[in-house]
């Protein structure tokens, strides 16, 4: 999976279109109010003295930069002086993606907003940062475990071999008999803790806070889903060309961050989180400043974000603090 997504000519090696024209869409591509809501939550933390106005706002895996820019825009709306005191960063290792991000940010803000790029979260050495990420945990590599064996691929076919003792111990501890075991959560949390003295980390992803004991790993191609073990899926046709993902085990994420010295501030559905962050209030403010047609258009987008049958319940928000 690591080679599929991040290797030479991997799926994420170059910039990927997200939205109707791409392989998938996200909350960020659905509505700019997604970023505005998170920024509104951050603004509340600043007012309560729980965040530092001289600190950093950092996005991990920013794609083109829509989310960070939407957040900056709302922060400016709330208090223009904060754009002068806060510093902004993006964790992104791909040079071509960086270029696209900088071009978009310049298009949005000209030279008024400066962005610092980091190759890895371990490079961030600051006193305080509010770190945000959307759909990154599902993009971590994972091992596939079934009956004490892990999946291997050879000549476009999946076969099984004995798992390591450490992996089997993890599976026994979590009562996992089959499913995905993410690789890298622990190192990621430790790297964030090592360089950021005080940190709020907010992330959205799809999954649950328990072991499913089933495989969720799947391939996305132009908004169609193909289970990895589907007999009709030809691996050579999808390898490095299509997105591959799986449901996040938030219990595993929480353990990794707890071991790195973080506390879990909140864990809830995306719908509950966005409403608590002020999404409906932001929409109502927008209604007073625009036409009925534009308001209805934006309201329909927001339904996608919070409807239980769409993103609202399937996606979760987790907030860790250190």
Looking at residue 19, its pLDDT comes to: 46
> What's the first-to-final CA gap in the chain, in angstroms?
30
In the block, tokens 């987790």 appear at 318
pLDDT classification of 265: cutoffs 50, 70, 90:
very high
pLDDT score, position 155: 76
- Going by the DSSP 8-state scheme, the letter that residue 100 receives in this structure is H
- Where do runs of H (alpha helix) occur along the chain? 2-6, 27-30, 33-47, 66-78, 82-85, 95-109, 165-173, 185-195, 235-238, 250-259, 270-277, 279-287, 292-306
| 100-123: pLDDT as tens digits | 999 999 999 999 999 999 999 999
Binned at pLDDT 50, 70 and 90, residue 21 comes out as very low
pLDDT score recorded for residue 2: 63
Least confident of 94-103, 151-160, 288-297, 308-317: 151-160
pLDDT of 141-195, one tens digit each? 999 999 999 999 887 788 999 999 999 999 999 999 999 999 999 999 999 999 9
Q: Per-domain residue ranges for the chain?
A: 16-139+183-207+248-321
- The string of pLDDT tens digits covering residues 33-57 is 999 999 999 999 999 999 999 999 9
Instruction: Identify the architecture of domain 16-139+183-207+248-321 in CATH.
Output: 3-Layer(aba) Sandwich (3.40)
User: What does the radius of gyration of the chain's CA atoms come to, in whole angstroms?
Assistant: 20
Query: Do residues 163 and 150 lie in contact, with contact meaning Cβ atoms separated by under 8 Å?
Result: yes
Percentages of the chain per state (helix, strand, coil), in multiples of 5: 40, 25, 35
Give the pLDDT confidence of 198-227 residue by residue, as tens digits.
999 999 999 999 898 999 999 887 767 888
């Amino acid at each position: 999976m690591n080679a599929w997504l991040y290797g030479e000519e991997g799926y994420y090696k170059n910039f990927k279109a997200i939205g109707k024209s791409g392989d998938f869409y996200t909350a960020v591509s659905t509505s700019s109010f997604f970023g505005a809501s998170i920024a509104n939550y951050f603004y509340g933390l600043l007012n309560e003295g729980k965040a530092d106005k001289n600190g950093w706002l950092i996005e991990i895996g920013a794609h083109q930069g829509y989310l960070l820019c939407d957040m900056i825009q709302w922060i400016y709306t709330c208090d223009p002086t904060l754009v002068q005191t806060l510093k902004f960063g993006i964790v992104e290792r791909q040079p071509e993606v960086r270029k696209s991000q900088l071009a978009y940010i310049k298009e949005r803000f000209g030279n008024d907003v400066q962005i610092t790029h980091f190759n890895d979260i371990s490079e961030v050495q600051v006193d305080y940062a509010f770190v945000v990420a959307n759909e990154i945990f599902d993009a971590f590599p994972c091992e596939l475990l079934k009956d004490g064996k892990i999946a291997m691929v050879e000549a476009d076919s999946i076969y099984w071999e004995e798992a390591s003792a450490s992996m089997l111990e993890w599976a026994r501890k979590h009562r996992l008999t089959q499913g995905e075991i993410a690789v890298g959560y622990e190192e990621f949390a430790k790297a964030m803790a090592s360089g950021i003295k005080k940190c709020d980390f907010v992330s959205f992803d799809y999954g649950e806070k328990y072991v499913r004991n089933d495989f969720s790993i799947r391939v996305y191609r132009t908004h169609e889903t193909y289970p990895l073990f589907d007999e009709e899926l030809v691996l050579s046709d999808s390898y490095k060309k299509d997105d591959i993902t799986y449901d996040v085990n938030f219990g595993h994420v929480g353990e990794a961050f707890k071991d790195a010295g973080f506390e879990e501030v909140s864990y809830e559905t995306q719908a509950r989180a966005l409403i608590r962050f002020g999404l409906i209030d932001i929409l109502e403010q927008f209604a007073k400043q625009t036409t009925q047609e534009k308001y209805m258009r934006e309201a329909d987008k927001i339904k996608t974000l919070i409807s239980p049958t769409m993103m609202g319940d399937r996606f979760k928000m987790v907030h860790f603090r250190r």
